Structure 1
């Protein structure tokens, strides 16, 4: 999908998908929009990854000092890159986690 055919609403809706639980907004509202669904599914995978980071971060010492800080930095960077690419109208795939988003079918 080229940048010229995307509306500002579609770009913003796709960017919202990377903000924690807000992935549900484009996932449910823009069901027939491939661009919005792509970014919403990546947002869902990123949300699940953040939950895993939070759970593993509860491990004493290792979780507190390594998993939580590194995990949340990764989540923040991926979310920021996803938001930027969505606002630019690009169909960006997250490293490693993006392949799981492709497997999601609703």
Structure 2
């Protein structure tokens, strides 16, 4: 979902709910970029095994994106697993 976090960040600047989910999405996006870069490097170092790791990372990111969308649509401010607490501490 990439830069989808920008929508609530820019459209609903005064909404704490929208900002909460924008921060969750931003941290997920940054983590995704870092993990994909690591997977890309591992693909070359391990002669292709890193591709498998990158596929697992992609799957985990998709699960977190879906979970975040479900939380937002349901009106919940439940942090995403692993990265959610970190996002709550960020100031945007």
Calculate the TM-score normalised by the size of structure 2: 0.86
Could you say what secondary structure the match of 1:57 adopts? helix
Structure 2 distance, partners of 1:22, 1:29, is 12
> Superposition RMSD on alpha carbons, in Å?
1.2
Structure 2 distance, partners of 1:71, 1:93, is 19
Deviation at 1:63, TM superposition (A): 1.9
Q: Tell me which residue corresponds to 2:56.
A: 70
Calculate the TM-score normalised by the size of structure 1: 0.76
Structure 2 distance, partners of 1:36, 1:62, is 39
Structure 2 distance, partners of 1:104, 1:78, is 19
Gaps of 5+ in 1: 1-18
Gaps of 5+ in 2: none
Q: Tell me which residue corresponds to 2:83.
A: 97
Greater share of residues in helix: 2
Question: For 1:1-106, what aligned pairs fall within 5 Å after superposition?
Answer: 19-58=1-40, 59-60=42-43, 61-66=48-53, 68-106=54-92
Q: Does the aligned pair in 2 maintain the 1:53–1:72 contact within 8 Å?
A: no
